[in-house]
Amino acid sequence: MRISRKSRLSARAATAGICLTLLPMTAIGQEVRDYPSQASFPNENREAVTRHLTSASSIAGTDLWSEFRWRCLISPLDRDMVWGVQHDGLVPATRLFDNLYSVGQNSVSSFALDTDDGIILIDALNNEDEAREIIVPNLRTLGLDPARIRFVIVTHGHGDHYGGAKYLQETYGARVVSSAADWQMMEDAFGRPGPFGSLVPPTRDIIAEDGDTISLGGTTVRLAITPGHTPGTLSLIFPVYEDGQQHMAGLMGGTGGGRDSETHRQQIASLNRWNELTAAAGVDVLLTNHPPHMDSNEKQYLLSYDATGGNNPFIYGRDKYRRYFEVLSDCTRVALARLGETGVD
């Protein structure tokens, strides 16, 4: 006797004590037709995509698999997953190092670098409300006085990084730092159609040039302009301390990548230069300004419970730090190949 698939499924469910309701196949088919699809690239250079995906995966190995997966696969292919993970939400303020604190939210980072003479804040979240109701309370929770904010360094001219800077500038007298190109970008966005049109930018203050430094209380932050994500993306190198031992942190301000062929190529050049700069500086600590780019929130959670086995998860080491940006470089080459570009080596 031949038993139907439906009968076999029902029998297995009954044996397991499960009440199984089988939907008509037409209903399931209708649901499937309504599912969103992954992004498609009809003009892609498939051979080049394969070559650079293989290279990125090989460089990533097992210890950078999560980072490879996010940048090469999830972010460009499945925006619903990106927004599902990178949503606005509260996360606990966390001490990352003796002198560095995370005071941002789930979707976007803000870091407080504490010095003897005040605080250097790196990025200011989406808007005034988030600066007032997230950054300021987080600082206080960690025992830091927001009135000690002396500088706000804006890594790039997207509203989720400068949105709260005007409030901090006006409330605490903080000086705001950005590149000339991204000052212009912030000012041009105001009042125009687009996601940042309603944001009043901070008053133009310190215009950073490539190679400049910001020094406060014996701590020096080195700045590099690394175009690609925006025309004047700022990237930072500065010392952090773990139980009194110095490490060098590197925050590349535009790990989100480019938008088209030109900016992808700018990004590759910036990533390669960034690896040279950070290698020369002995950078071994990875920071990103969006938590999903390196599972920052999960690492912070482990730190808050002292569940790291004594190893700070933000300390990647020099070799792993270098490989992270080589992975990003290959993922950017994948993006070019998906657009049909050739000669992307």
What are the b/e assignments for 172-199, b being 16+ CB within 10 Å?
Answer: bebbbbbbebbbebbeebeeeeeebeeb
- Count of alpha carbons within 13 angstroms of residue 222, beta-carbon side: 15
The superfamily (CATH) of domain 47-338 is Ribonuclease Z/Hydroxyacylglutathione hydrolase-like (3.60.15.10)
Residues 6+ positions from 133 with CB-CB distance below 8 Å: none
Percent of the chain residues past pLDDT 90, beyond the cut: 88
Order across the sheet with 219-225: list the strands. Answer: 213-216, 219-225, 234-242, 245-251, 285-287
What tokens appear for 215 in the block? 């020094």
User: 230: closest CA among 198, 260, 273?
Assistant: 260
More confident residue, 89 or 14: 89
- Ranking 19-23, 30-34, 73-77, 209-213 by mean pLDDT, the lowest is 19-23
Contact 110, 316 (CB under 8 A): no
Q: Distance (Å, rounded) from C-alpha 127 to C-alpha 205?
A: 18
The end-to-end CA distance of the chain, in Å, is: 61
What is the per-residue pLDDT for 30?
Answer: 53
Indicate the pTM of the whole model: 0.90
- Strand boundaries in 243-320, DSSP class E: 245-251, 285-287
Whether pLDDT at 17 is above 80: no
pLDDT band at 6 (very low <50, low <70, confident <90, very high): very low
Q: What are the contacts of 219-226 at 24+ separation with CB within 8 A?
A: 219/99, 219/113, 219/115, 219/120, 221/113, 221/120, 221/153, 222/281, 223/153, 223/177, 224/273, 224/274, 224/277, 225/179, 225/181, 226/252, 226/253, 226/254, 226/270, 226/271, 226/273, 226/274
Q: Distance (Å, rounded) from C-alpha 87 to C-alpha 60?
A: 26
Largest separation between any pair of C-alpha atoms in the chain = 85
What is the per-residue pLDDT for 16?
Answer: 44
Q: Distance (Å, rounded) from C-alpha 159 to C-alpha 100?
A: 23
Whether pLDDT at 325 is above 50: yes
Residues 223-282: tens digit of each pLDDT: 999 999 999 999 999 999 999 999 999 999 999 999 999 999 999 999 999 999 999 999
